[in-house]
């Protein structure tokens, strides 16, 4: 089946929809210029100093750094904080918002990304589930309390060494703070904020049960398949159709729709058919 025909099928599903669930992985940010860290080579291309040190993404995204060498831990996460703050969400975010408004769709966003791009693009905070947390919120490294607070820190980073020139501190005890993100081998993540978002999503699914739903999955890979599993779970509901947009791993069984392209190309292709 030609890609154009698949765009037409996806557009027809959206025309009939009453509910829209957006599920998003790292590929959603690629069109905004963000790295997706696909494989060690992809990570090292984005962060050459780590290749010289022989450190992979898993090694860099390790909570132990905040205890042993917080300047090194914050080198990676401070750089990412600055990058995400500076990034402008691509046009695909606006396409989705226009569909929601045009068709009066009840909607929810579920993302494994920690970059806050959906909020920046104007999606409502109470309609977003960030399954791995957010870089824009902090917690104590110990942790001394279960508190989570907004990240308002300025974190300069020496990109030749990937070490931070400022270490954020816990607002309660003064110890080192860390991003409220679920990292690899992480037993200290405070999940309360994400748990509240999860409850909002569960209530949403209960409220829209039985209505015609479309799930649009954007750039979610198979390495950590949390988002793909969720797409298929929601897509299995009565009258639901899932649209998987992925340039390399778009496969999904009928009656769902596979679009082998990038996030922005896929959204723009569906938009052209709707118009």
Residue 111 corresponds to which tokens in the numbers above? 């993302």
261 is in an annotated binding site: no
Tell me if 173 is assigned to a ligand binding site.
Answer: yes
Residues that are catalytic: 132
Which pair of tokens denotes residue 44? 């090292």
170 a known binding residue? yes
Measured distance CA(235)–CA(256) in Å, rounded: 8
Residues 55 and 62: their CA atoms lie apart, in Å, by 11
In DSSP terms, which residues pair with 158 in a beta bridge? 163
Q: How far apart are CA 151 and CA 133, in angstroms?
A: 12
Q: Which residues are annotated as a binding site for Zn(2+)?
A: 140, 144, 170, 173
Q: Which residues are annotated as a binding site?
A: 140, 144, 170, 173
């Amino acid at each position: 089946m030609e890609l154009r025909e698949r765009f037409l099928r996806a557009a027809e599903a959206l025309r009939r929809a009453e509910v829209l669930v957006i599920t998003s992985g790292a590929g959603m940010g690629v069109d905004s210029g963000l790295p997706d860290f696909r494989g060690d080579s992809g990570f090292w291309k984005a962060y050459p100093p780590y290749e010289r040190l022989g450190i992979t993404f898993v090694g860099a995204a390790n909570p132990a750094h905040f205890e042993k060498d917080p300047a090194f831990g914050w080198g990676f996460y401070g750089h990412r904080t600055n990058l995400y703050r500076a990034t402008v969400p691509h046009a695909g975010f606006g396409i989705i918002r226009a569909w929601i408004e045009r068709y009066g769709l009840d909607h929810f966003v579920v993302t494994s990304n920690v970059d806050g791009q959906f909020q920046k693009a104007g999606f409502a905070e109470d309609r977003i589930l960030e399954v791995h947390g957010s870089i824009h919120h902090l917690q104590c490294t110990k942790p001394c309390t279960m508190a989570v607070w907004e990240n308002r820190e300025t974190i300069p980073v020496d990109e030749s060494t990937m070490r931070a020139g400022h270490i954020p501190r816990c607002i309660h005890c003064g110890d080192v703070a860390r991003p409220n993100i679920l990292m690899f081998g992480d037993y200290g993540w405070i999940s309360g904020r994400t748990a509240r978002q999860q409850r909002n999503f569960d209530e949403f699914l209960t409220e829209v049960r039985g209505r015609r739903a479309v799930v649009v999955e954007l750039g979610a890979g198979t390495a950590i398949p949390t988002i793909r599993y969720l797409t298929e779970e929601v897509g299995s509901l009565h009258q639901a159709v899932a649209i998987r947009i992925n340039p390399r791993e778009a496969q999904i069984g009928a009656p769902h729709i596979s679009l082998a392209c990038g996030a922005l190309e896929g959204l723009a292709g569906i938009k052209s058919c709707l118009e």
